[in-house]
Structure formats: structure tokens, C-alpha cells
Amino acid sequence: MAVISYIEMDDIDASGVPYSVEIVQAESEDFWQEHCSVIPPEPLRLIMVALIGTTVALISFIFNLFLFLVLVVRRKNRKTHLLYLIILALIDVFLSASYILLFPTNLFMDYFESEILALIWWFCLRTVLALCHIAISASALLLTAATFERFLTISRYRTQFSTKSRVILSSVCVLFALAAKGPMFFELKVVPNENCTGVTKYRPEMQDWAFEEPYKTVYKFWFRSIVNTFFPFFLGLYFNIRIVSRLNQQHSAARLFRFATSEHRKNIRSATRMLVLVACCYLACNLLNVIVTAWEFIDMTSLMTPELRPFYTYSSDLVSLLTVFASAVRLPIYYACNARIRREVNMHILRICCESTLRKFSRDSASLATIRYLNTGNGFVMYTSTRSGRSADPKFLVVGTGFDKVVLQVAMKGWSRAKFRSSLRRNDSQKYAMN
């Protein structure tokens, strides 16, 4: 009773526990529920991100890695407009891998409450998040640059582009993406989450200077959002509308005057249609991102309300999924529209599928014996030579009968007489030419 002598009797309930102790316990439980509890992901997010998103990201990773290896091995591809597609495929490889490390891993670590996945996720969060956003921005800018070049080509403002100019333009796009999204690595920090353990041991937190002016408005919105999100979207939309209009005019003129286009112009149109489809796919998949980004700037508070928070969460997940989907469908579009890419893809697939068969055939053919006619008095024999470089006597095996021996000897004598006659005629013609 000495312990509770300082507590009034009114502060003790019927069970003999002080009310102050119950309040402390309730506050502790509330703190744990708010900061340390693991909220399991919703079934819809598991299906959309963990199942569909992981599958699409794996397909995108395999497709773009295969496409990069197919195109980069030929020097001729690096000197054409395919250079943009080579760089874009490499960027999409990193984008697909970053998606798997960021989104499905986060859901899996909460669903299974795995401390190993949580440790990997928190360790990679800042780096992978920055690389993911850099890849998204670089791919959008590269598509805009490729569309701009195709617009100039189809409009006949400029028909030839050097490899150096393409490399410079691609480098500018990548550097621009680094300048726009690279600071995200420094804006975010991972700090200990009070006394929590396990999956919720750490929590992300933004740096204080990220909310200061003019960085917040001038850089994060006007430079990062408008120039990096709205600018590629609307500029690419404008170029694609002009390209499609120009293609329709050329097609109508060709039908009016009834002349067949040359092979060169067919290739130009094929490449243009391919790029238009890729750009339109990007525009369609990025439309929701443009809407959400504009909403975030206009009224971010409304998105955090209980009524709109689920919409904001699901729309953010859908934006990420559509970005990876746009990367995954590029190879099928290239394959359907471009004959050169289709031919090289088919060649590499056949080479991969038939390599084991070719190796087996080469091993079998290496062990085949060489059949020759040797003047040994036994007629038709089989001669096996050693290819290993070791000095060994050749093996002879008689495979013919006595009748075969007579037939071969007659044939060889006839061939010798014909060869002798042709040599005489050649000598006579040479003498006649000299005289």
C-alpha cells in the first residue's frame, strides 16, 4: 500500500488498478498502433501491384534486356535512329528492376512481416527511388527527342541526322533527368522510428530544406513537375498529331497520283508509325500521372482526406503500373512495325533455340568418317582421319564387293581419259593462240 499511498482513492477503480496507470497503458497502446503497427495491404493492392505489377515488370525487364542486346551488337544500328531505342531499352531495364524493388517488395514485407525484406527495402529506398524517377524522366525526354527528330524527317525540314548529334541529344536528355530527379536522393532520409522494432523499425522523412522557398515552388513544381512531366507530355502530343497529319497527307497524295512509294520512303513511314505508336502508348499511360500531379499542386490537402485517400493511393499505384506497362509493350510494337528489328529478333531467337541442336549436329558430324577412293587394290574404302592433332595412323575399312571394285576402276579410268583429252585440247588452243 506504500506504493499507492500518494494516489487518491478516487483514482483507483474496482480492480485496484490506478486510473493513471490505465491512461499510460492506453496511450502506449495508441502510440504503438499509430507508429509501430504493421498495416496489411489491401487485397486490391496485392492483386494490382504484387501480382500484376510484378509480372509486367518481369516481362518488361526480359523484353528490354533482350532488345538492348539485339540492337547494340550491330554497329549499323548505333548509327541510325535506333540509337534512341537502344538507350531507351537500357533505361527501361533499370526502371523495371527499380519497380520490383520498390513496390512489390514493400507490400511483401508488410504482408509477411519479413524483417529481411524490410532491411533490404529500407537500405535501397533512397537510391532506388531516385534511380526510378531518373529513369522515368529520361525515357520521357528520349521519346520526345526521337519524336522531334521524326517530325523533322517526315516534314522534310531536315532529312539527315548524324550519330554525333543523336548522342549529344540523348546525353542532354539524361543529364536533364539527373538534374530534375537526382536531388530526390538528398531530399529523403531514413530515420529510426521511435522505439519500434521489426518491419517498422525505420520510417522515411523529408529534409526540412525540401519545404523551404524557393526550392519548393520554383524547383519542385515549376522545374520538376511542369518541365519534366507536362512539357514532354504536351510536346510529344503536339508532334504526334503533326506527324499523323503529315502521313495522311502523303498517303492521300500517293493515292491521288497513283505512284508507288520507294523502298526508302516505306522504311521512313514504317519507322514513323512505330515511333508514333510508342509515343501514343506513353501518352495514354502517362495521362493519369499528369492529372494526379496537377491535383497535387492545386489541392494536396483534399487528397489526404479519408474520402479521397484511397483514390490517391490506388491512382499512384496505377500510375507506376502503367509506366512499367508502357515499357513492356515497346518490343511488341517494334516487332510489329519495323522489319529490321523483326528480322534481327527472329534471327536471335532462332540462334538461341537452335544453338543446342547445332552443337549436337557439329559433334555428330565431327565423328563422321571421310569416304574416299584410295588406290590400294581393294577398291572402295572408308578413310578416317584424326583431328585431334595426335600422330596416329589412319584407319582403312573395305566396304565394297568385288563387283564394286571393277565398277569403280572402270569409272576412274574413264575419268582419267576424259581429263587427259581436256588437257590436250587446252594445250592445242594455247599453241594456236601463240601462233
Instruction: Show me where the domains of the chain are located.
Output: 38-349, 370-417
Other residues' Cβ atoms within 10 Å of the Cβ of residue 99: 28
* 48, 135 Cβ separation under 8 angstroms: no
The contacts of residue 230 (CB under 8 Å, 6+ apart) are 290, 293
Sheet of 370-373, strand order? 370-373, 380-384, 395-398
SS3 370: strand
Alpha-carbon span 243 to 248, nearest angstrom: 9
Amino acid at 4: I
CA trace torsion 132, 136, 142, 143 (10° rounding): 150
Other residues' Cβ atoms within 10 Å of the Cβ of residue 412: 13
Which residues on adjacent β-strands are paired with residue 12? 18
Neighbour-count burial of 70, counting CB atoms closer than 10 A to its CB (0-12 exposed, 13-18 middle, 19+ buried) = buried
Tell me the HSE value of 45 on the side-chain side, using a 13 A CA sphere.
Answer: 21
Alpha-carbon span 67 to 64, nearest angstrom: 5
Quick one: pLDDT at residue 423? 63
Quick one: pLDDT at residue 228? 78
* 223, 269 Cβ separation under 8 angstroms: no
Quick one: pLDDT at residue 273? 76
CA trace torsion 260, 261, 264, 265 (10° rounding): -170
Which residues on adjacent β-strands are paired with residue 179? none
User: At CB < 8 A and 24+ separation, what contacts does 281-287 make?
Assistant: 281/326, 281/329, 281/330, 281/333, 282/139, 282/140, 282/143, 282/236, 282/326, 283/233, 283/236, 283/237, 283/240, 285/322, 285/323, 285/325, 285/326, 286/140, 286/229, 286/233, 286/322, 286/323, 286/326, 287/233
SS3 373: strand
* 23, 187 Cβ separation under 8 angstroms: no
Longest dimension (CA), the chain: 145
Query: What string of pLDDT tens digits covers the 435 residues of the chain?
Result: 333 333 343 444 444 444 444 444 445 555 565 667 788 888 898 999 999 999 999 999 999 999 999 999 888 888 888 899 999 999 999 999 999 999 999 999 988 888 899 999 999 999 999 999 999 999 999 999 988 888 888 777 666 677 888 899 999 999 999 999 999 999 999 998 878 888 888 988 999 898 888 888 889 888 888 777 888 888 888 888 888 888 777 666 555 444 445 555 666 667 777 877 888 888 888 888 888 888 887 888 888 888 888 888 899 899 999 999 999 999 999 898 888 888 888 888 888 887 666 565 555 545 444 444 455 555 445 445 444 444 445 444 444 555 555 555 655 565 556 655 666 566 655 555 454
Architecture of domain 38-349: Up-down Bundle (1.20)
* 290, 230 Cβ separation under 8 angstroms: yes
Amino acid at 23: I
Query: What angle in degrees, to the nearest 10, is found between the helix axes of 330-337 and 82-112?
Result: 150
Q: Pairing between strand 380-384 and 370-373?
A: antiparallel
Other residues' Cβ atoms within 10 Å of the Cβ of residue 87: 25
